[in-house]
Amino acid sequence: SQTIHQWPATLVQPVGSPLSLECTVEGTSNPNLYWYRQAAGRGLQLLFYSVGIGQISSEVPQNLSASRPQDRQFILSSKKLLLSDSSFYLCAWSVLARDTQYFGPGTRLTVL
């Protein structure tokens, strides 16, 4: 069966520090991968998606970037965090672009 992992589960970082959140998927090959953000009391906002290694599409211009160095690995990064980057970050995968997406456990990021 397929599983999706995210780490860390929680993270507290100072303003201006770098960020690296990792997501890995097991049990499937060539998944579509997604990064979402959920601000308090709001819906899920799609940040990036990837249909293959090295292929990243950005949905929202911002302080963040994403990379896919391996087939089942998706990384969310920032060179300098802002206070407004505090949020709950979720990784998801799907078999095909139009398929159901399955979410990881999420990372709670607090920028102080």
Please report, as ranges, the residues that interact with another protein according to CB under 8 A: 6, 32, 41-46, 49, 59, 88, 90, 92, 94, 96-106, 108
In angstroms, the CA 80 to CA 14 distance is 9
Minimal distance, residue 103 CB to another protein, in Å: 3
Nearer to another protein, 14 or 41 (CB): 41
Nearer to another protein, 26 or 59 (CB): 59
Minimal distance, residue 44 CB to another protein, in Å: 4
In this structure, how many other beta carbons lie within 10 angstroms of the beta carbon of residue 59?
13
Nearer to another protein, 26 or 99 (CB): 99
Minimal distance, residue 45 CB to another protein, in Å: 8
What does residue 50 show for φ and ψ, rounded to 5 degrees?
-140, 130
Instruction: Please calculate the CA angle 82-86-90 and round it to the nearest 5 degrees.
Output: 125
In angstroms, the CA 59 to CA 74 distance is 16
